Structures are given as structure tokens and as C-alpha cells.
Amino acid sequence: MALAITFLEGIVTFISPCLLPMLPLYLAYFAGTAALPAAGGTASRSTRRTMMGALGFALGFTCVFVGLGALAGTFGAQLARHQTALNVICGAAIVLFGLSISGLVRIPLLEHTLKPRISPATGSFWSAVVFGVTFAIGWTPCVGAYLGSALMLASTQGSTLAGVGLLLAYSAGLAIPFVLCAALADGIMGALEGIKRHTQVISLVCGLLLVAMGMLTMTGLMGSWLGQLSILGWEAS
């Protein structure tokens, strides 16, 4: 369940006002062109380069996020004997992040949006990896509420491996839409415009889900709830 929630957070990060408006520039960067190619032969020829750029970009930010997840999980493991206090602090942070994502509470630091200057790439896979690492580090204020709530949840798991798993799920939720958009660059913009019109509703639902998760974490019910779900899943199988 926790993995599913962090995966969903990754998807919501992608469609957030921070990232979605910048998608055409990212795809142009991946393709190594000054703008997205028009429909036709040029687009077909650039698809492979765009896909490789998107995969490199995803690899770059995944490495950074998974590293942060390992640190969060390790930190939580070191404080396992103070689990109650850790649950209260992390749960309260998750509630705050959820309120920010939902738009019910304004936190200027978490609403900060960066507008990086993106110049056409050379088509190198490794330059896209470096760009992904830069994105993960430089855009932290922009995606802070989403990433922060995933890290807070990871720190309550009491395990480095669990922290890695949660942030890997978060990265997958963010990476898969990027790669799909790179593969479908010709016709994806119309669909994304439709998603943008419902961004506020999506953010509200996901934010309230995080608020509920944070309250369960604060009360210590999150661990027992996930444990019960695991037992039910095992028995069902």
C-alpha cells in the first residue's frame, strides 16, 4: 500500500503545475532540437533520440531520489527506539505536505517554481543523465511537498531497504509518464492539456489522501494497517 501511494505521488508530481507546463521544453531537450518536431518524418526520426534522452533523464533523478530514500530509511532505523516520536514528527510533516498539495494551505517555500533555461541537448544519453541529476537537486523546492512526504514515509519504515523501495516507487511514478510522453510526443500534447484542466481536482484528492496517511502515521496506526493489508494479501494468495 505504501509503495502504491508513493508511486501515485510520483505521477501527481509529473502533472503538477511545477512540471507539466515545462514538458514541451523537456521533450525538445531530449530530442536535441530547439522545438518539438511537427508531425511527420522528422518526428519519426527523432523518436529514438527522444526516448533515450527521457530514459537517461529518468535514470539521473532516480539515482538521486533513491539515494535520499536510503538515507531516510537509515535515519529512521537509527531512531527505531524512538518510533513513537518519529511517527508523530513525520506524520505531522506528511499532513502539512498533504495540505500544501491539496491547496488548502499555502506554504510559499513549497510553492516555489523554478524556470530553468533549457538549451537543446546533443543527443547524448549521459548528458540527459546529468540533466536528470541536476533536475533532482535543483527542483527540490518545486517538488518539495511530493518528495518530502515520500521521504517522511520512508523514514518511518525503520529500514534502509524499505526507504529505497519507497523512493524507487516514487521515481517510477515520475519516470513512466516522462518516457511515455517521449514515445508519444506527436500526439500527447492534446491529452496533457485535458489533464491540466483537472490538475486542481487531482491535487486535492491526492493531498487529502496524504493528510489521512499522515494522521495514521501520527497515531501509529499506519504500520499496523499496512501489516493487516499484507496479511490479507498473503491469505488471499
- Taking 3-state DSSP, the helix, strand and coil percentages for the chain, each rounded to the nearest 5, stand at 80, 0, 20
- The answer, yes or no, to whether residue 8 has pLDDT greater than 80, is yes
Given its phi and psi angles, is residue 103 left (phi above 0), alpha (psi -120 to 50 degrees) or beta? left
Average pLDDT over residues 156-183: 89
CA–CA–CA angle 20, 209, 140 (5° rounding)? 40
The confidence band for 204, taking pLDDT boundaries of 50, 70 and 90, is confident
> Is the separation of the CB atoms in 112 and 142 below 8 Å?
yes
Pick the range with the lowest mean pLDDT from 41-45, 65-69, 71-75, 193-197: 41-45
Select from 147, 139, 149, 143 the least CA-distant residue to 96: 149
> Is the separation of the CB atoms in 37 and 43 below 8 Å?
yes
pTM score:
0.74
Q: What percent of the chain has pLDDT over 90?
A: 13
Q: Distance (Å, rounded) from C-alpha 225 to C-alpha 144?
A: 26
Residue-wise pLDDT for 135-149, tens only, equals 888 766 566 677 888
Q: In the 8-state DSSP scheme, what is residue 93?
A: H
pLDDT of residue 155: 84
Average pLDDT over residues 49-66: 90
> Is the separation of the CB atoms in 36 and 24 below 8 Å?
yes
Out of 96-105, 121-130, 171-180, 208-217, give the one with best mean pLDDT. 171-180
Which of the two residues, 118 and 169, has the higher pLDDT score?
169
